[in-house]
Structure 1
């Protein structure tokens, strides 16, 4: 597998475009609903550029059962996170797609975590993994990142309280060693940081690296940005190194990780395109718009090109001071609900008009 951040954008686009075109044909042949949408919207199946690859709005996975494999080939069903009563996305994986996801995640994280498994604290509760066939976004994230660790310790009890005694014993046992921490942004803030702060707990995570993602909206409601989050975790818990990531259950394995300079990067097997929320035309570098994600991984369902509900900005290409090639970007959060409705109405038959 190609090193995840070594390909220059032009070379990467050539390779990625070929694979995305192959996937568009594959899903047209193997997913009837996808084929109907392509036909109805008169899409060109062979795109000349990445921007021309047909995309689906991510909301469709909440409304339709989209898969390109037979029922008996499904080995895992992933569901998006959602509050009670909300519809959730269902993503169907076969063995090959699930394996490709795991292998790619290892490659993407290697520049940050190295090849050696680290002692690992999962800042969540073990009960989230109860059903091994059907995973929530949280469960899928934990299971994926658990491959990078050993001697896994779950820091939260089932009632979401912090297992203070267990945590202190674990930190003592691995004192001086590099420890991997993993969790979801809001849960870390709410159930780890706030409890430690409010109870005046003396916790020192020492030589640790934290990987976290998702759940920024609630933190923004509390006026906490990424810089403040990192600073407070360092002050309260002694966490030295923090990397946010951007990803979604609807596009398995598409993990865009923060580099040492605080920018999210698109690895060699995936990319981001930013589109104007009204016209859906691609926008220039530095201009905010809707994030489209493309990936060569989803073969068991038509998720290789998706228009998200998130706003973001590409800040540059091939010139990040961290040394990684390709596009680097930031995410500003969800598009306001009123605009989502307007944007959904623009999709005739579920793809761009």
Structure 2
């Protein structure tokens, strides 16, 4: 199988795409054979689609896909979904869960530095109540929490702004660089708009990482630059970084660099597919295919998403990070809403 320890000591964006392609040709087939041997449903799908071919991400809502014995499951993660929607269930053993956590920390620290910063989470502790079955939102919060210290939640259990907690946090960490994390629309609705309504602003020295939930903001004509500018004005945060990821490939996220480009690390890759014949597109818009080297407890290593994206370049981003970089244009027409923020319902 894949030598993960070797990958862990490599820079997360230090491999040229030609070398990465050679690695992935072998690694993807190794993972495919592993899941073929250990997951009966994947074996049947492979006989129809072909070994190593991408699975439509929606299949995780329809089938129980796992490549381990059920007694080895230590965590079940569920995708976000509106009321009545089926949700994906992702089954993790101890090894796969630990690998996801380690890779997430390695990728994000390339952007934030290795030191753990005081952390403000724009959410409520209520989302973490069931530790045995994590929603995508809860999994995201817990995953990113390992990057911070003195973790403080900015919202109470009713999703209202907890100004006292925020003010105490700011006073305690005056002069320190802080890390702020949350899901895009929830930051906008429960943090930014709440501050604006009250005429309050903060001067937070640090970095904000956010992801998911762009559909509602696009409906409000709020794009990435508008989001960044408004957050800077309300909270004083200069470094606002978006990320792209999904619960079906937790850990191997795609982080946005200072030039606004989403980057594939050595642990994951993307391809853009023609939605008509699924051929690979070297340019232009198409369906995003995500490949991850992390999933061993379930066959989620090559997935065809329902998101539309565009490859921007390879090995030549001005930020200096190697590999592919791209942008996401949004959900394809007719696809279900599934972002953590988009599917949040106030109860």
TM-score bin (small chain): over 0.9
Instruction: After TM superposition, list the pairs within 5 Å mapping 1:196-235 onto structure 2.
Output: 196-205=195-204, 207-235=205-233
Q: Deviations over 1:172-206 (max 9, x none)?
A: 1101100000000000000000000011013222x
| Structure 2 counterpart of 1:170 | 169
| Structure 1 counterpart of 2:182 | 183
Q: 1:6 aligns with which of 4, 7, 14?
A: 14
| Structure 1 counterpart of 2:249 | 251
Q: Distance in 2 between matches of 1:293 and 1:40?
A: 20
Q: Are 2:290 and 1:293 equivalent residues in the alignment?
A: yes
Shift of 1:19: 1.2
Contact 1:81–1:137 at 8 Å: present in 2 too? Answer: yes
Contact 1:275–1:290 at 8 Å: present in 2 too? Answer: yes
Q: TM-score, normalised by structure 1?
A: 0.91
Shift of 1:268: 0.6
Contact 1:309–1:335 at 8 Å: present in 2 too? Answer: yes
- Tell me, what secondary structure is at the counterpart of 2:165? helix
Q: Deviations over 1:234-291 (max 9, x none)?
A: 0111111011000000112120000111100000111000001111111123x00000
| Structure 1 counterpart of 2:35 | 27
Contact 1:16–1:270 at 8 Å: present in 2 too? Answer: no
| Structure 1 counterpart of 2:300 | 303
Contact 2:201–2:233 at 8 Å: present in 1 too? Answer: no
Q: Distance in 2 between matches of 1:271 and 1:27?
A: 19
Q: Structure 1: any 5+ residue segments left out of the alignment? A: 46-52, 341-353
- Tell me, what secondary structure is at the counterpart of 1:250? helix
Q: Are 2:279 and 1:271 equivalent residues in the alignment?
A: no
Q: Distance in 1 between matches of 2:48 and 2:219?
A: 41
Instruction: After TM superposition, list the pairs within 5 Å mapping 1:105-120 onto structure 2.
Output: 105-120=104-119
Q: 1:38 aligns with which of 39, 46, 59?
A: 46
| Structure 1 counterpart of 2:66 | 67
| Structure 2 counterpart of 1:350 | none
- Tell me, what secondary structure is at the counterpart of 2:272? strand
Q: Distance in 2 between matches of 1:204 and 1:110?
A: 23
**Higher mean Cα deviation, 106-115 or 87-96?**
106-115
Shift of 1:40: 2.8
**Higher mean Cα deviation, 302-311 or 99-108?**
99-108
Q: Deviations over 1:114-137 (max 9, x none)?
A: 111100001100010111110000
Contact 1:16–1:269 at 8 Å: present in 2 too? Answer: no
Number of equivalenced pairs: 328
Q: Deviations over 1:121-157 (max 9, x none)?
A: 0110001011111000000000000000000000000
RMSD: 1.0
Q: Deviations over 1:12-38 (max 9, x none)?
A: 111122111100000000000110111
Q: Distance in 2 between matches of 1:22 and 1:248?
A: 23
Q: Distance in 2 between matches of 1:3 and 1:86?
A: 39
Q: Distance in 2 between matches of 1:309 and 1:100?
A: 26
| Structure 2 counterpart of 1:325 | 322
Q: Are 2:162 and 1:154 equivalent residues in the alignment?
A: no
Deviating beyond 4 angstroms after TM superposition, the runs of 4 or more aligned structure 1 residues are none
| Structure 1 counterpart of 2:339 | none
| Structure 2 counterpart of 1:48 | none
Q: Distance in 1 between matches of 2:115 and 2:236?
A: 22
Q: Distance in 2 between matches of 1:11 and 1:90?
A: 33
| Structure 1 counterpart of 2:259 | 261
